[in-house]
Structure 1
Amino acid sequence: MTSHPAGQCCIVGVKHEGEAAGEIKKINDVRTYFSYPSDKSTHNAVLILTDILGVDFINVQLIADQFAANGYFTVVPDLFNGNPVPANQENFDVPKWIQTEMPHPPAVDPVIANTIKELRGTYGAKKIGGVGYCFGGKYVARHLKEGSLDVGYTAHPSFVSKEELEGIKGPLSISAAETDQIFPAEKRRETEDILEKLKVPYQLNLFSDVSHGFAVRADLSVKPAKFAKEQAFYQAVAWFDEYIKNV
Protein backbone atom coordinates (compact mmCIF):
# COMPACT_ATOMS: atom_id res chain seq x y z
CA MET A 1 0.00 0.00 0.00
CA THR A 2 1.19 3.54 -0.76
CA SER A 3 -1.35 4.76 1.81
CA HIS A 4 -2.96 3.00 4.75
CA PRO A 5 -6.69 2.24 5.19
CA ALA A 6 -8.95 4.87 6.70
CA GLY A 7 -9.10 5.36 10.48
CA GLN A 8 -10.82 7.47 13.11
CA CYS A 9 -9.01 10.57 11.84
CA CYS A 10 -11.04 10.27 8.64
CA ILE A 11 -14.29 11.30 10.30
CA VAL A 12 -13.03 14.11 12.53
CA GLY A 13 -13.16 17.72 11.43
CA VAL A 14 -15.06 20.97 11.28
CA LYS A 15 -18.31 21.40 9.39
CA HIS A 16 -18.00 24.57 7.32
CA GLU A 17 -20.58 27.31 7.08
CA GLY A 18 -22.21 28.15 3.80
CA GLU A 19 -25.09 27.31 1.51
CA ALA A 20 -24.53 24.97 -1.41
CA ALA A 21 -25.23 26.55 -4.80
CA GLY A 22 -25.63 23.31 -6.74
CA GLU A 23 -28.30 20.64 -6.86
CA ILE A 24 -28.74 16.93 -6.32
CA LYS A 25 -29.81 14.97 -9.42
CA LYS A 26 -29.33 11.37 -10.47
CA ILE A 27 -27.00 9.61 -12.87
CA ASN A 28 -28.20 6.04 -13.43
CA ASP A 29 -30.11 6.12 -10.10
CA VAL A 30 -27.02 7.36 -8.21
CA ARG A 31 -27.58 10.59 -6.28
CA THR A 32 -25.08 13.11 -7.62
CA TYR A 33 -24.33 16.72 -6.70
CA PHE A 34 -24.09 19.03 -9.73
CA SER A 35 -22.48 22.49 -9.72
CA TYR A 36 -22.16 24.58 -12.88
CA PRO A 37 -19.79 27.42 -13.81
CA SER A 38 -21.34 30.80 -14.45
CA ASP A 39 -21.42 30.25 -18.23
CA LYS A 40 -23.02 26.80 -17.78
CA SER A 41 -20.25 25.25 -19.90
CA THR A 42 -19.69 21.53 -19.40
CA HIS A 43 -16.64 21.04 -21.66
CA ASN A 44 -14.17 21.12 -18.77
CA ALA A 45 -15.35 18.89 -15.94
CA VAL A 46 -14.27 17.87 -12.46
CA LEU A 47 -15.39 14.65 -10.82
CA ILE A 48 -15.03 14.72 -7.03
CA LEU A 49 -14.65 11.35 -5.32
CA THR A 50 -15.34 11.98 -1.66
CA ASP A 51 -13.96 10.87 1.64
CA ILE A 52 -16.08 8.49 3.70
CA LEU A 53 -18.38 11.31 4.84
CA GLY A 54 -19.98 11.24 1.41
CA VAL A 55 -21.77 13.59 -0.95
CA ASP A 56 -24.16 15.16 1.54
CA PHE A 57 -21.40 16.58 3.75
CA ILE A 58 -21.70 20.33 3.17
CA ASN A 59 -17.92 20.86 3.01
CA VAL A 60 -17.53 18.81 -0.17
CA GLN A 61 -20.51 20.53 -1.80
CA LEU A 62 -18.94 23.92 -1.07
CA ILE A 63 -15.67 22.69 -2.59
CA ALA A 64 -17.58 21.57 -5.70
CA ASP A 65 -19.06 25.05 -5.92
CA GLN A 66 -15.55 26.51 -5.70
CA PHE A 67 -14.39 24.39 -8.64
CA ALA A 68 -17.46 25.55 -10.56
CA ALA A 69 -16.62 29.17 -9.74
CA ASN A 70 -13.23 28.52 -11.34
CA GLY A 71 -14.84 27.39 -14.60
CA TYR A 72 -15.26 23.64 -14.08
CA PHE A 73 -18.55 21.77 -14.39
CA THR A 74 -18.34 19.71 -11.20
CA VAL A 75 -20.16 16.57 -10.12
CA VAL A 76 -19.98 14.53 -6.91
CA PRO A 77 -21.55 11.04 -7.02
CA ASP A 78 -22.69 9.14 -3.94
CA LEU A 79 -20.08 6.38 -3.69
CA PHE A 80 -21.70 4.89 -0.57
CA ASN A 81 -25.27 4.25 -1.73
CA GLY A 82 -26.67 6.47 1.00
CA ASN A 83 -24.60 4.90 3.76
CA PRO A 84 -21.61 7.16 4.49
CA VAL A 85 -19.87 7.49 7.84
CA PRO A 86 -21.26 10.19 10.15
CA ALA A 87 -18.93 13.08 10.92
CA ASN A 88 -17.56 13.54 14.42
CA GLN A 89 -19.53 10.68 15.97
CA GLU A 90 -17.37 9.90 18.97
CA ASN A 91 -18.05 6.18 19.33
CA PHE A 92 -18.33 5.27 15.67
CA ASP A 93 -16.24 2.17 14.88
CA VAL A 94 -14.48 2.98 11.60
CA PRO A 95 -12.57 -0.35 11.38
CA LYS A 96 -15.85 -2.25 11.80
CA TRP A 97 -17.50 -0.11 9.11
CA ILE A 98 -14.58 -0.87 6.79
CA GLN A 99 -14.96 -4.60 7.39
CA THR A 100 -18.74 -4.84 7.18
CA GLU A 101 -20.21 -1.91 5.25
CA MET A 102 -17.62 -0.06 3.20
CA PRO A 103 -18.14 -0.45 -0.56
CA HIS A 104 -15.25 -2.01 -2.47
CA PRO A 105 -14.09 -1.60 -6.10
CA PRO A 106 -16.72 -3.96 -7.61
CA ALA A 107 -19.39 -1.58 -6.26
CA VAL A 108 -17.57 1.75 -6.61
CA ASP A 109 -15.87 1.39 -10.00
CA PRO A 110 -19.15 1.10 -11.98
CA VAL A 111 -20.51 4.25 -10.33
CA ILE A 112 -17.42 6.17 -11.42
CA ALA A 113 -17.36 4.64 -14.91
CA ASN A 114 -21.03 5.44 -15.47
CA THR A 115 -20.57 9.00 -14.21
CA ILE A 116 -17.64 9.54 -16.58
CA LYS A 117 -19.66 8.05 -19.46
CA GLU A 118 -22.51 10.47 -18.70
CA LEU A 119 -20.15 13.44 -18.48
CA ARG A 120 -18.60 12.67 -21.85
CA GLY A 121 -21.88 11.69 -23.51
CA THR A 122 -24.86 13.69 -22.25
CA TYR A 123 -22.82 16.68 -21.07
CA GLY A 124 -20.15 16.72 -23.77
CA ALA A 125 -17.16 16.96 -21.44
CA LYS A 126 -13.91 17.05 -23.42
CA LYS A 127 -11.56 16.79 -20.44
CA ILE A 128 -12.26 15.42 -16.96
CA GLY A 129 -10.18 15.98 -13.87
CA GLY A 130 -10.59 13.63 -10.92
CA VAL A 131 -10.39 14.92 -7.34
CA GLY A 132 -10.02 12.31 -4.60
CA TYR A 133 -10.19 13.11 -0.92
CA CYS A 134 -9.05 10.31 1.42
CA PHE A 135 -11.14 7.29 0.27
CA GLY A 136 -11.59 8.93 -3.13
CA GLY A 137 -7.84 9.07 -3.69
CA LYS A 138 -7.78 5.33 -4.34
CA TYR A 139 -10.29 5.73 -7.13
CA VAL A 140 -8.53 8.64 -8.76
CA ALA A 141 -5.53 6.32 -9.09
CA ARG A 142 -7.69 3.45 -10.38
CA HIS A 143 -9.36 5.62 -13.04
CA LEU A 144 -6.48 7.86 -14.12
CA LYS A 145 -6.24 6.06 -17.45
CA GLU A 146 -6.96 6.57 -21.12
CA GLY A 147 -10.70 6.81 -21.73
CA SER A 148 -11.43 7.56 -18.09
CA LEU A 149 -9.97 10.47 -16.08
CA ASP A 150 -7.56 12.74 -17.96
CA VAL A 151 -5.92 14.39 -14.93
CA GLY A 152 -5.82 13.55 -11.24
CA TYR A 153 -5.56 15.35 -7.93
CA THR A 154 -5.77 13.84 -4.45
CA ALA A 155 -5.43 15.14 -0.92
CA HIS A 156 -4.42 12.89 1.99
CA PRO A 157 -5.26 9.66 0.11
CA SER A 158 -6.12 6.37 1.76
CA PHE A 159 -6.36 2.72 0.60
CA VAL A 160 -4.14 3.30 -2.47
CA SER A 161 -2.18 0.19 -3.43
CA LYS A 162 1.27 0.18 -4.97
CA GLU A 163 -0.16 -1.43 -8.11
CA GLU A 164 -2.87 1.20 -8.46
CA LEU A 165 -0.38 4.04 -8.28
CA GLU A 166 1.97 2.31 -10.71
CA GLY A 167 -0.91 2.00 -13.16
CA ILE A 168 -1.76 5.68 -13.58
CA LYS A 169 -1.50 7.08 -17.11
CA GLY A 170 -2.07 10.80 -16.57
CA PRO A 171 -0.76 13.78 -14.58
CA LEU A 172 -1.22 13.45 -10.81
CA SER A 173 -0.99 16.10 -8.11
CA ILE A 174 -1.02 15.29 -4.38
CA SER A 175 -1.56 17.42 -1.27
CA ALA A 176 -0.21 15.84 1.90
CA ALA A 177 -0.39 16.69 5.59
CA GLU A 178 2.63 16.81 7.89
CA THR A 179 0.72 14.78 10.51
CA ASP A 180 -1.04 11.86 8.86
CA GLN A 181 -1.06 8.28 10.08
CA ILE A 182 -2.86 7.22 6.88
CA PHE A 183 -0.34 8.83 4.50
CA PRO A 184 2.76 9.17 6.70
CA ALA A 185 6.28 10.12 5.66
CA GLU A 186 7.31 6.60 4.65
CA LYS A 187 4.27 6.26 2.40
CA ARG A 188 4.91 9.67 0.86
CA ARG A 189 8.45 8.62 0.07
CA GLU A 190 7.26 5.33 -1.40
CA THR A 191 4.80 7.31 -3.51
CA GLU A 192 7.57 9.63 -4.70
CA ASP A 193 9.76 6.66 -5.66
CA ILE A 194 6.94 5.20 -7.76
CA LEU A 195 6.01 8.48 -9.44
CA GLU A 196 9.64 9.22 -10.27
CA LYS A 197 9.72 6.07 -12.43
CA LEU A 198 6.51 6.83 -14.32
CA LYS A 199 6.32 8.80 -17.54
CA VAL A 200 3.65 11.21 -16.30
CA PRO A 201 3.87 14.68 -14.75
CA TYR A 202 3.46 14.65 -10.98
CA GLN A 203 3.49 16.99 -8.01
CA LEU A 204 3.49 16.38 -4.26
CA ASN A 205 3.04 19.31 -1.88
CA LEU A 206 3.50 18.83 1.86
CA PHE A 207 1.71 21.21 4.25
CA SER A 208 2.99 21.77 7.77
CA ASP A 209 0.84 22.30 10.86
CA VAL A 210 -2.10 20.26 9.51
CA SER A 211 -3.31 16.68 9.81
CA HIS A 212 -5.22 14.13 7.75
CA GLY A 213 -8.41 15.56 6.26
CA PHE A 214 -7.28 19.20 6.22
CA ALA A 215 -8.24 19.81 2.57
CA VAL A 216 -11.90 19.11 3.39
CA ARG A 217 -12.41 19.39 7.15
CA ALA A 218 -9.88 21.97 8.37
CA ASP A 219 -10.75 24.28 11.24
CA LEU A 220 -10.90 27.57 9.36
CA SER A 221 -10.56 29.55 12.59
CA VAL A 222 -6.97 28.28 12.82
CA LYS A 223 -4.80 30.36 10.52
CA PRO A 224 -2.30 27.66 9.37
CA ALA A 225 -5.14 25.20 8.73
CA LYS A 226 -7.14 27.75 6.74
CA PHE A 227 -4.06 28.65 4.70
CA ALA A 228 -3.24 25.00 3.95
CA LYS A 229 -6.83 24.15 2.99
CA GLU A 230 -7.03 27.09 0.61
CA GLN A 231 -3.61 26.42 -0.90
CA ALA A 232 -4.47 22.76 -1.46
CA PHE A 233 -7.54 23.85 -3.39
CA TYR A 234 -5.54 26.37 -5.44
CA GLN A 235 -3.04 23.58 -6.12
CA ALA A 236 -5.79 21.47 -7.65
CA VAL A 237 -7.17 24.35 -9.73
CA ALA A 238 -3.71 25.28 -11.05
CA TRP A 239 -3.07 21.63 -11.94
CA PHE A 240 -6.33 21.38 -13.87
CA ASP A 241 -5.80 24.75 -15.55
CA GLU A 242 -2.46 23.47 -16.83
CA TYR A 243 -3.53 19.99 -17.95
CA ILE A 244 -7.17 20.60 -18.91
CA LYS A 245 -7.62 24.19 -20.06
CA ASN A 246 -4.13 24.70 -21.52
CA VAL A 247 -3.96 21.42 -23.48
Structure 2
Amino acid sequence: MYISPAIVLTYVSYPPDKSTHNAILFLSDIFGPKLVNSQLIADQFAANGYFVVMPDLFHGDPVPVEREGNFDVMAWLKNHLPPVTDPIIDRTLRYMRQELGCQRIGGVGYCYGGKYVARYLKPGLLDVGYMAHPTHVEVDELKGIQGPLSISAASSDYLFPTEKRRETEDILSELGHPYEITVYSHVEHGYSVRCNMDIKQQRVAKEKSFAQAAGWFDAYLKK
Protein backbone atom coordinates (compact mmCIF):
# COMPACT_ATOMS: atom_id res chain seq x y z
CA MET A 1 0.00 0.00 0.00
CA TYR A 2 1.29 3.46 -0.86
CA ILE A 3 0.51 6.83 0.70
CA SER A 4 2.12 10.20 0.05
CA PRO A 5 3.04 12.06 3.23
CA ALA A 6 4.13 15.57 2.28
CA ILE A 7 4.57 14.47 -1.34
CA VAL A 8 6.97 11.62 -0.52
CA LEU A 9 5.90 8.35 -2.11
CA THR A 10 5.72 5.90 0.79
CA TYR A 11 5.03 2.19 1.19
CA VAL A 12 3.11 1.40 4.38
CA SER A 13 2.13 -1.86 6.01
CA TYR A 14 -0.27 -2.20 8.96
CA PRO A 15 -0.14 -4.74 11.80
CA PRO A 16 -3.11 -7.08 12.30
CA ASP A 17 -4.74 -4.75 14.85
CA LYS A 18 -4.24 -1.69 12.56
CA SER A 19 -2.62 0.23 15.41
CA THR A 20 -0.03 2.87 14.55
CA HIS A 21 1.23 3.33 18.14
CA ASN A 22 4.34 1.15 17.73
CA ALA A 23 5.89 2.07 14.39
CA ILE A 24 8.96 1.43 12.29
CA LEU A 25 10.51 3.87 9.86
CA PHE A 26 12.03 1.62 7.20
CA LEU A 27 15.05 3.27 5.56
CA SER A 28 15.84 1.20 2.50
CA ASP A 29 18.94 0.30 0.60
CA ILE A 30 19.85 2.04 -2.66
CA PHE A 31 17.11 0.19 -4.58
CA GLY A 32 14.29 2.06 -2.85
CA PRO A 33 10.79 1.16 -1.63
CA LYS A 34 9.62 -0.46 -4.86
CA LEU A 35 12.02 -3.36 -4.40
CA VAL A 36 9.76 -6.33 -3.67
CA ASN A 37 12.23 -7.83 -1.19
CA SER A 38 12.07 -4.66 0.92
CA GLN A 39 8.28 -4.63 0.80
CA LEU A 40 8.19 -8.24 1.98
CA ILE A 41 10.44 -7.36 4.93
CA ALA A 42 8.20 -4.41 5.77
CA ASP A 43 5.21 -6.75 5.72
CA GLN A 44 7.10 -9.12 8.04
CA PHE A 45 7.60 -6.35 10.58
CA ALA A 46 3.90 -5.51 10.29
CA ALA A 47 2.97 -9.14 10.91
CA ASN A 48 5.03 -8.88 14.10
CA GLY A 49 2.88 -6.03 15.38
CA TYR A 50 4.46 -2.88 13.94
CA PHE A 51 3.07 -0.18 11.69
CA VAL A 52 5.72 0.25 8.99
CA VAL A 53 6.44 3.32 6.88
CA MET A 54 9.02 3.11 4.07
CA PRO A 55 9.51 6.44 2.26
CA ASP A 56 11.19 6.92 -1.10
CA LEU A 57 14.50 8.47 -0.04
CA PHE A 58 15.56 9.04 -3.66
CA HIS A 59 12.82 11.16 -5.28
CA GLY A 60 12.11 8.37 -7.78
CA ASP A 61 15.81 7.93 -8.58
CA PRO A 62 16.90 4.62 -7.01
CA VAL A 63 19.81 2.61 -8.32
CA PRO A 64 18.39 0.29 -11.00
CA VAL A 65 18.28 -3.32 -9.84
CA GLU A 66 19.25 -4.53 -13.32
CA ARG A 67 21.87 -1.83 -13.83
CA GLU A 68 24.52 -2.04 -16.52
CA GLY A 69 28.11 -2.69 -15.54
CA ASN A 70 29.15 0.91 -16.15
CA PHE A 71 26.63 2.38 -13.70
CA ASP A 72 28.54 4.73 -11.37
CA VAL A 73 27.09 4.23 -7.89
CA MET A 74 29.42 6.80 -6.33
CA ALA A 75 28.32 9.45 -8.82
CA TRP A 76 24.69 8.56 -8.04
CA LEU A 77 25.40 8.82 -4.32
CA LYS A 78 26.57 12.43 -4.69
CA ASN A 79 22.96 13.32 -5.49
CA HIS A 80 21.65 11.54 -2.39
CA LEU A 81 23.70 12.85 0.51
CA PRO A 82 22.28 14.06 3.86
CA PRO A 83 21.32 17.57 2.67
CA VAL A 84 18.92 15.88 0.22
CA THR A 85 17.87 12.86 2.29
CA ASP A 86 17.46 14.44 5.74
CA PRO A 87 14.50 16.64 4.71
CA ILE A 88 12.65 13.58 3.40
CA ILE A 89 13.12 11.79 6.71
CA ASP A 90 12.19 14.94 8.65
CA ARG A 91 8.89 15.26 6.76
CA THR A 92 8.13 11.57 7.12
CA LEU A 93 8.75 11.54 10.88
CA ARG A 94 6.57 14.62 11.37
CA TYR A 95 3.80 12.99 9.36
CA MET A 96 4.10 9.77 11.35
CA ARG A 97 3.88 11.50 14.72
CA GLN A 98 1.44 14.29 13.91
CA GLU A 99 -0.88 12.72 11.34
CA LEU A 100 -0.58 8.95 11.78
CA GLY A 101 -0.53 8.84 15.58
CA CYS A 102 2.79 7.02 15.96
CA GLN A 103 3.90 7.13 19.59
CA ARG A 104 7.08 5.05 19.54
CA ILE A 105 9.17 4.84 16.36
CA GLY A 106 12.02 2.46 15.65
CA GLY A 107 14.37 2.94 12.73
CA VAL A 108 15.37 0.08 10.43
CA GLY A 109 18.24 0.83 8.08
CA TYR A 110 19.53 -1.52 5.40
CA CYS A 111 22.85 -0.62 3.75
CA TYR A 112 22.35 3.04 2.72
CA GLY A 113 19.57 3.43 5.28
CA GLY A 114 21.82 2.43 8.18
CA LYS A 115 23.60 5.78 8.09
CA TYR A 116 20.31 7.56 8.68
CA VAL A 117 19.34 5.36 11.60
CA ALA A 118 22.51 6.63 13.28
CA ARG A 119 21.76 10.23 12.35
CA TYR A 120 18.20 10.08 13.70
CA LEU A 121 18.54 7.87 16.78
CA LYS A 122 17.74 10.75 19.14
CA PRO A 123 14.85 11.72 21.46
CA GLY A 124 11.82 12.91 19.52
CA LEU A 125 13.08 11.36 16.29
CA LEU A 126 13.85 7.62 16.49
CA ASP A 127 13.51 5.81 19.82
CA VAL A 128 15.29 2.57 18.90
CA GLY A 129 17.55 1.58 16.01
CA TYR A 130 18.50 -1.45 13.94
CA MET A 131 21.00 -1.61 11.06
CA ALA A 132 21.92 -4.41 8.70
CA HIS A 133 25.29 -4.18 6.93
CA PRO A 134 25.32 -0.36 7.18
CA THR A 135 27.33 1.84 4.82
CA HIS A 136 29.07 5.19 5.16
CA VAL A 137 28.23 5.72 8.84
CA GLU A 138 30.60 8.41 10.07
CA VAL A 139 32.25 8.23 13.48
CA ASP A 140 30.52 11.43 14.64
CA GLU A 141 27.14 10.07 13.54
CA LEU A 142 27.67 6.90 15.54
CA LYS A 143 28.91 8.81 18.58
CA GLY A 144 25.77 10.93 18.40
CA ILE A 145 23.23 8.14 18.88
CA GLN A 146 21.04 8.42 21.98
CA GLY A 147 19.17 5.14 22.11
CA PRO A 148 19.40 1.34 21.84
CA LEU A 149 21.05 0.08 18.66
CA SER A 150 21.27 -3.41 17.14
CA ILE A 151 23.49 -4.25 14.16
CA SER A 152 23.54 -7.29 11.86
CA ALA A 153 26.80 -7.66 9.96
CA ALA A 154 28.12 -9.92 7.23
CA SER A 155 31.40 -11.74 7.77
CA SER A 156 32.47 -10.57 4.30
CA ASP A 157 31.56 -6.94 3.67
CA TYR A 158 33.82 -4.48 1.86
CA LEU A 159 31.55 -1.61 2.98
CA PHE A 160 31.44 -2.64 6.65
CA PRO A 161 34.70 -4.55 7.08
CA THR A 162 36.08 -6.10 10.24
CA GLU A 163 38.05 -2.97 11.16
CA LYS A 164 34.98 -0.75 10.89
CA ARG A 165 32.91 -3.28 12.82
CA ARG A 166 35.41 -3.32 15.69
CA GLU A 167 35.63 0.46 15.72
CA THR A 168 31.84 0.56 15.88
CA GLU A 169 31.79 -1.79 18.85
CA ASP A 170 34.41 0.30 20.67
CA ILE A 171 32.33 3.45 20.17
CA LEU A 172 29.07 1.82 21.26
CA SER A 173 30.67 0.33 24.36
CA GLU A 174 31.74 3.82 25.46
CA LEU A 175 28.35 5.44 24.90
CA GLY A 176 26.50 3.36 27.49
CA HIS A 177 23.31 2.73 25.50
CA PRO A 178 22.09 -0.85 24.99
CA TYR A 179 23.66 -2.33 21.87
CA GLU A 180 24.41 -5.58 20.11
CA ILE A 181 26.42 -6.56 17.03
CA THR A 182 25.88 -9.98 15.48
CA VAL A 183 28.10 -11.26 12.68
CA TYR A 184 26.71 -13.84 10.25
CA SER A 185 29.05 -16.18 8.39
CA HIS A 186 28.90 -17.27 4.75
CA VAL A 187 27.21 -14.04 3.63
CA GLU A 188 28.23 -10.78 2.00
CA HIS A 189 27.02 -7.20 1.96
CA GLY A 190 23.29 -6.94 1.24
CA TYR A 191 22.40 -10.46 2.38
CA SER A 192 19.54 -9.49 4.70
CA VAL A 193 17.57 -8.01 1.78
CA ARG A 194 18.95 -9.80 -1.26
CA CYS A 195 20.34 -13.30 -0.76
CA ASN A 196 20.01 -16.66 -2.45
CA MET A 197 17.30 -18.36 -0.42
CA ASP A 198 18.24 -21.69 -1.99
CA ILE A 199 21.57 -21.61 -0.15
CA LYS A 200 21.00 -22.70 3.44
CA GLN A 201 23.66 -20.52 5.09
CA GLN A 202 22.35 -17.40 3.35
CA ARG A 203 18.72 -18.21 4.14
CA VAL A 204 19.51 -18.87 7.79
CA ALA A 205 21.48 -15.61 8.10
CA LYS A 206 18.67 -13.59 6.53
CA GLU A 207 16.01 -15.18 8.73
CA LYS A 208 18.05 -14.84 11.92
CA SER A 209 18.87 -11.21 11.11
CA PHE A 210 15.18 -10.43 10.86
CA ALA A 211 14.54 -12.27 14.13
CA GLN A 212 17.33 -10.21 15.70
CA ALA A 213 15.66 -6.97 14.60
CA ALA A 214 12.16 -8.03 15.65
CA GLY A 215 13.41 -9.20 19.04
CA TRP A 216 15.27 -5.93 19.57
CA PHE A 217 12.15 -3.87 18.90
CA ASP A 218 10.02 -6.16 21.05
CA ALA A 219 12.46 -5.56 23.92
CA TYR A 220 13.10 -1.84 23.54
CA LEU A 221 10.36 -0.25 21.42
CA LYS A 222 7.05 -1.75 22.55
CA LYS A 223 5.51 -0.36 25.72
User: TM over 0.5, yes or no?
Assistant: yes
Partner residue, 1:193: 170
Are residues 1:46 and 2:24 paired?
yes
Are residues 1:62 and 2:13 paired?
no
Aligned-residue offset at 1:115: 1.0
TM-score by length of 2: 0.97
Are residues 1:30 and 2:15 paired?
no
Amino acid at match of 1:93: D
Aligned-residue offset at 1:123: 1.5
Partner residue, 2:77: 98
- Of the structure 1 ranges 121-130 and 155-164, higher mean CA displacement relative to structure 2 is found in 121-130
Partner residue, 1:144: 121
Aligned-residue offset at 1:220: 0.6
Q: For 1:236 and 1:50, locate their aligned partners in 2 and report how far apart those are by CA, in whole Å.
A: 15
Are residues 1:77 and 2:55 paired?
yes
Partner residue, 2:152: 175
Matched residue of 1:214: which SS? coil
Q: For 1:63 and 1:169, locate their aligned partners in 2 and report how far apart those are by CA, in whole Å.
A: 26
Partner residue, 1:227: 204
Matched residue of 1:46: which SS? strand
What is the count of residue pairs matched by the alignment? 222
Q: For 1:42 and 1:203, locate their aligned partners in 2 and report how far apart those are by CA, in whole Å.
A: 26
Are residues 1:131 and 2:108 paired?
yes
Q: For 1:171 and 1:114, locate their aligned partners in 2 and report how far apart those are by CA, in whole Å.
A: 23
Partner residue, 2:216: 239
Matched residue of 1:228: which SS? helix
Partner residue, 1:11: none
Aligned-residue offset at 1:96: 2.6
Question: Where does structure 2 lack aligned partners over 5 or more consecutive residues?
Answer: none
Matched residue of 1:213: which SS? coil
- Of the structure 1 ranges 119-128 and 224-233, higher mean CA displacement relative to structure 2 is found in 119-128
Aligned mate of 1:165, from 133, 136, 142:
142
Q: For 1:124 and 1:67, locate their aligned partners in 2 and report how far apart those are by CA, in whole Å.
A: 18
Question: Where does structure 1 lack aligned partners over 5 or more consecutive residues?
Answer: 1-22
Amino acid at match of 1:77: P
Amino acid at match of 2:158: Q
Amino acid at match of 2:10: T
Amino acid at match of 2:72: D
Aligned-residue offset at 1:90: 3.8
Partner residue, 1:15: none
Aligned-residue offset at 1:89: 2.1
Quote the RMSD (CA, aligned, Å): 0.9
Aligned-residue offset at 1:121: 1.3
Aligned-residue offset at 1:125: 1.1
Partner residue, 2:161: 184
TM-score by length of 1: 0.88
